[in-house]
Homo-oligomer: A and B are copies of this chain.
Amino acid sequence: MTEVQTRKAGRPKTSVLNPDQIVDAAFEVVHEAGPDGFTLTRLAAKLSVKPPALYHYFANKDAVIKAMRGRLASLNDVTGFARGSWDTAIFPWARSYRAAMLAFPASIALLATRPIDGEEESVANYETISASFLAAGWPEHEVVTILVALESFAIGSALDALAPDDNMSPGAFAADAPIFAAAEQARRDHAANRCTSVADASFELGLALMVAGLRMRLAELRA
């Protein structure tokens, strides 16, 4: 579990650490210890190193988290924006965004509450998407506002997907809420019949709603 620490003080002949390796270990620590258990002490231990050693590679804990975000950003699929229309490109991008979050369940809360603030990968993705939106005729001041709204939905949907399937069950209060109880059951049956999860159904429906709303809005802006 805790690897033995035998290194003496002083610069080692060859570097023990590098940024990529630290980020790798950071994801492992979050996975094992949860968001609240993600401490630099544990991260250092995972790397068989003392906490201050990390400060040679990252300014502070937030900087480590920022780098983790960058890693996730590289999983985002923005290829559609470069070659197709903005409204169809949104779907694979939003799905990949949510999937990236879901790949590191414990990290979602940790990563979602921190600023993206100039992470190289993210910025490159945003540049591609922004160009596509502007070319489609969106006003400049709305591009990032839309982007953030879509991301917020993807993040919230990822959190929802982590909840158990009976998350919305009225439980002991079903008798007091017959209409809701029946609707909740109907939702679960419908998803089961289609071999999908209720969380996926909400994500896909919400995404379709937002894109439909965007198409309407752009048409109005052009008129």
A160 CA / B187 CA spacing, docked (Å): 29
Which residues on B sit within 8 Å (CB–CB) of A142? Answer: 187, 205
* Contact surface of A with B, Cβ cutoff 8 Å: 35, 105, 108-109, 112-120, 123-124, 126-127, 129-131, 133-134, 140-157, 159-160, 162-164, 166-174, 176-180, 182-184, 186-187, 189-190, 198-199, 201-203, 205-206, 208-214, 216-217
A107 CA / B220 CA spacing, docked (Å): 39
Nearest 8 interchain pairs by C-beta: A118-B171, A156-B156, A209-B213, A149-B206, A152-B156, A109-B109, A127-B177, A141-B190
Count of this chain's copies in the oligomeric assembly: 2
> Are B176 and A123 closer than 8 Å at their CB atoms?
yes
A133 CA / B179 CA spacing, docked (Å): 10
Q: In the complex where A118-B173, A151-B156, A208-B213 touch, is A144 in contact with B184 (Cβ < 8 A)? A: yes
A147 CA / B155 CA spacing, docked (Å): 16
Q: In the complex where A145-B201, A184-B144 touch, is A160 in contact with B167 (Cβ < 8 A)? A: no
Which of B126, B151, B152, B216 makes the CB contact (< 8 A) with A177?
B126
> Are A173 and B115 closer than 8 Å at their CB atoms?
no
8 pairs, A vs B, C-beta closer than 8 Å:
A113-B162, A115-B167, A118-B173, A124-B173, A140-B183, A143-B187, A144-B184, A148-B198
* A145, A171, A212: residue with the most chain B Cβ atoms closer than 10 Å: A145
Q: In the complex where A117-B166, A159-B155 touch, is A145 in contact with B177 (Cβ < 8 A)? A: no
> Are B212 and A148 closer than 8 Å at their CB atoms?
no
A216 CA / B163 CA spacing, docked (Å): 29
Q: In the complex where A127-B177, A202-B148, A202-B149 touch, is A141 in contact with B216 (Cβ < 8 A)? A: no
